Amino acid sequence: MQEELRTEPKLKSKTESQLTVLKLGGSVITKKDEPMTPNLKVMQRLAKEIADASVEHMIIVHGGGSFGHPLAKQYKIKEGYKDPTQIEGFLKTHQAMLELNKLVVDALIRHNIPAFSISPSSCVVTKGSRIQIFYDSTLTRLLNTGFVPVLFGDAVLDNNTGFNILSGDQLIATLAIRFKADKIILGVDVDGLYTADPKTNARANLMPHITLPNLKTLMHNIEEAKVTDVTGGMLGKISELIPAINADIKTFIVNASKEANVYKALKGEKVAGTLIEKE
Ligand code: IP8
What is the tens place of the pLDDT at every residue in 261-275?
999 999 999 999 999
Short-list 208, 199, 193, 187, CA closest to 261: 187
Max Cα–Cα distance, the chain, nearest Å: 51
At residue 224, what are phi and psi to the nearest 5 degrees?
Answer: -70, 150
Give the contacts of 271 (CB within 8 A, at least 6 positions apart): 254, 260, 261, 264, 265
| Dihedral Cα 186, 191, 194, 197, nearest 10 deg | -100
Residue nearest to atom 1 of ligand 1 (CA): 63
Specify the pairing of strand 250-255 against strand 183-188: parallel
**Average pLDDT for 68-79:** 98
Given a contact cutoff of 8 angstroms between Cβ atoms, the answer to whether 117 and 182 are in contact is no
Rounded Cα–Cα distance for residues 188 and 24 (Å): 7
* The ligand 1 atom nearest the CA atom of 236: 8
Q: Using 50, 70 and 90 to split pLDDT, how confident is the model at 2?
A: very low
Name which of 17-21, 144-148, 178-182, 183-187 the model is least confident about.
17-21
Phi-psi region of 171 (alpha: psi -120 to 50; beta: other; left: phi over 0): alpha
More confidently predicted of 196 and 152: 152
Given a contact cutoff of 8 angstroms between Cβ atoms, the answer to whether 32 and 68 are in contact is no
Q: Is the CB of 63 under 6 A from ligand 1?
A: yes
Q: Is the CB of 26 under 6 A from ligand 1?
A: yes
The predicted model scores a pTM of 0.92
Q: What are the tens digits of pLDDT across the range 194-212? A: 777 777 778 878 889 999 9
Burial annotation 232-265 (CB, 10 A radius, 16+ → b, else e): bbbbbbbbbbbebbeeebbbbbbbbbeeebbbbb
Q: Is the CB of 233 under 6 A from ligand 1?
A: no
Given a contact cutoff of 8 angstroms between Cβ atoms, the answer to whether 184 and 237 are in contact is no
Q: What are the tens digits of pLDDT across the range 94-133? A: 999 999 999 999 999 999 999 999 999 999 999 999 999 9
* The ligand 1 atom nearest the CA atom of 94: 9
**Average pLDDT for 237-252:** 94
pLDDT at 49 (0 to 100): 98
Mutate to test the pocket of ligand 1, among 97, 167, 239 (most ligand atoms within 8 A of CB): 167
1 pLDDT more than 50:
no
pLDDT at 166 (0 to 100): 98
Q: Is the CB of 164 under 6 A from ligand 1?
A: no
Residue nearest to atom 8 of ligand 1 (CA): 167
More confidently predicted of 47 and 235: 47
Overall size of the chain counted in residues: 279
Rounded Cα–Cα distance for residues 173 and 170 (Å): 5
User: Edge-to-edge strands of the sheet including 130-134?
Assistant: 130-134, 124-127, 154-158, 162-166
- Centre a 10 Å sphere on the Cβ of residue 177 and count the other Cβ atoms it contains: 16
CA–centroid distance, 259 to ligand 1, in Å, is 23
* The ligand 1 atom nearest the CA atom of 62: 6
Q: Is the CB of 70 under 6 A from ligand 1?
A: no
Q: Using 50, 70 and 90 to split pLDDT, how confident is the model at 78?
A: very high
